[in-house]
Amino acid sequence: MRTAVQWLDEYGESHRHATNKLLHWICVPLIVLSLIGLLWSIPVPEAFENISPALNWATAFLMAAVVYYFILSVSLALGMLPVLAGFVLIVDWLDTLEPPLWLISIVIFAIAWVGQFVGHAIEGKRPSFFQDMQFLMIGPAWLLSTLYRRLGIPY
């Protein structure tokens, strides 16, 4: 299994152009937010509701994602926890708005992916997830690792 550093370095190879980096700082969080919103919108079995009103497909996915990040790096996982919790709070708020959450999420998702592909067109390199789907999980960690490096936090 690759280490966190290996995953992040490989991801970084196709994210060197300043404009692509900027677009990723905007679009990756929006894609994560929109995916949580889409999963939040899927009706859950009654058994889920009986366990907790907060248990839905989004929170189930996020629990699995946190396990993935802990396997990758305890330090990155601990940093992702408040980030993901913040996304849950935003999605919970978006769910109170007049347009349905699924529609808001699809619009955000589509716009953010256009931004990602524009960034990669400028970069001249294909998105990493074409090589390995795990890079979809590495993208948010790559952003966090950039902050960690600036703050001198090991991962």
Rounded average pLDDT over 58-73: 97
Residue 4 region, left (φ>0) first, then alpha (ψ -120 to 50), else beta? alpha
Flag whether 11 is in a domain. no
Flag whether 155 is in a domain. no
Flag whether 53 is in a domain. yes
What would the pLDDT profile of 22-45 be if each residue is shown by its tens digit?
999 999 999 999 999 999 999 999
pLDDT at site 85: 97
Q: How far apart are CA 54 and CA 102, in angstroms?
A: 17
pLDDT at site 90: 98
Flag whether 3 is in a domain. no
pLDDT at site 128: 87
Flag whether 137 is in a domain. yes
- Is residue 48 predicted with pLDDT exceeding 90? no
DSSP string, 89-120: HHHHHHTTSSS-HHHHHHHHHHHHHHHHHHHH
What residues make up the domain containing 71? 17-150
Flag whether 86 is in a domain. yes
**First vs last Cα of the chain: how many Å apart?**
16
Flag whether 65 is in a domain. yes
- What domain count does the chain have? 1
pLDDT band at 131; cut points 50, 70, 90: confident
- Is residue 49 predicted with pLDDT exceeding 90? no
Flag whether 145 is in a domain. yes
